[in-house]
Amino acid sequence: MTYLTEQGGQRNAKDVTVTEWTLSSSTSLWSGKKIVFDTSRSTGTTGVSISGTGDFTFASGKEYYLLMSVDVSRSDNTANFSFGYYNQAGTLLSASDGASESFWGVGLSANNISSTLQAVITDTSQTYSIRCTVSSGTLTTETPSLIIYEVTRYV
């Protein structure tokens, strides 16, 4: 797909490729565990790859907008847990990096929970991952989905 946007009185073309990554089955997660997506479909050729260890690499010269939906089941509500985007140094990306984290605290009465988290990736020189943090025990994901919008700008 190609879109025209106006910036500073000039029209700039942008090519957008949309890729969906999913897990083909539910999986157990524990603190620090990366989500390893194993199935993808795309509207075109993508510059995104995900390794068998859950690390994402991105083609240079593009911007990436990530949106993940995650459903989890837990046996009880006695543990805090979260999902977030991490860079290759293992640092959680924050709002100042253009990312959000999903967090659930002890006492939240629901044991089947659904949420989304997003990130904007402009530094394609490093790898990224999505990780779970849980204060105790494990969680079960119910086939999370990651949508990546890959934008090429022509100025």
24: left (phi over 0), alpha (psi -120 to 50) or beta: alpha
Decide: 116 and 68 in contact? Cβ < 8 Å.
yes
Query: How far apart are the C-alpha atoms of 57 and 9, rounded to whole Å?
Result: 34
pLDDT band at 131 (very low <50, low <70, confident <90, very high): very high
Reported pTM: 0.84
86-100 tens-digit pLDDT: 999 999 999 999 999
Domain residue extents for the chain: 2-154
Q: Tell me, what DSSP letter sits at residue 96?
A: G
Query: What is the CATH number that goes with domain 2-154?
Result: 2.60.120.40
33-51 tens-digit pLDDT: 999 999 999 999 999 999 9
